[in-house]
Amino acid sequence: MSTIRPDELDDRLESGEGPFLLDIRPRPDFESQAIEHSHNVPVYDELRRGDESALQDRLEEIPSDGEVVVVCKMGVVAKRATDVLTEEGYDAATLAGGMSGWNGYQKGSLGYKLRSLLWKLR
C-alpha cells in the first residue's frame, strides 16, 4: 500500500503537481477543516463498518486519470479506501496520519516531528 507523508504532499501541492485529494471524512468534519482543494466523498462511517460498496458506488466522482490521495481522520480508514481504489485500477495513496498528521505538520508539533522521523526510518 502506498502512503504519502504530509510534508511530501505539501511540497507537491506547492509545486502545482498535486494529486486529487479525496477526503472521506463525514461532511461536518470536512466543512470544519479540510486541506485546500480537497474533495469530499463522505464514506468514512461506511468504510469503518466494512461497507466498501459505499465508495464503489461513488467512483464516478473520483478521476481515474491521475494520482488520488485519500484523507481521513488518522489515516486508518483511508487505507481501506486506498485498497478499494487500487483494486479498481486507481493510482491511490493514503495520507500518513490523516488530518491529524496534516495538522501536526502545519503546526510543526513535536508529535509530528517524531512521527515524521519514524516514517523516514522505515
- Which amino acid makes up residue 3? T
The structure's pTM equals 0.87
Residue range(s) defining the domain that contains residue 55:
3-121
pLDDT at residue 122, as a whole number: 62
CATH number at residue 81: 3.40.250.10
pLDDT tens-digit series, residues 12-59:
998 888 899 999 999 999 999 999 999 999 999 999 999 999 999 999
* Number of domains the chain contains: 1
Q: Is 16 a catalytic residue?
A: no
Out of 54, 72, 78, 85, the active site residue is 72
Record the cell numbers describing residue 70, joined without a space. Answer: 485519500
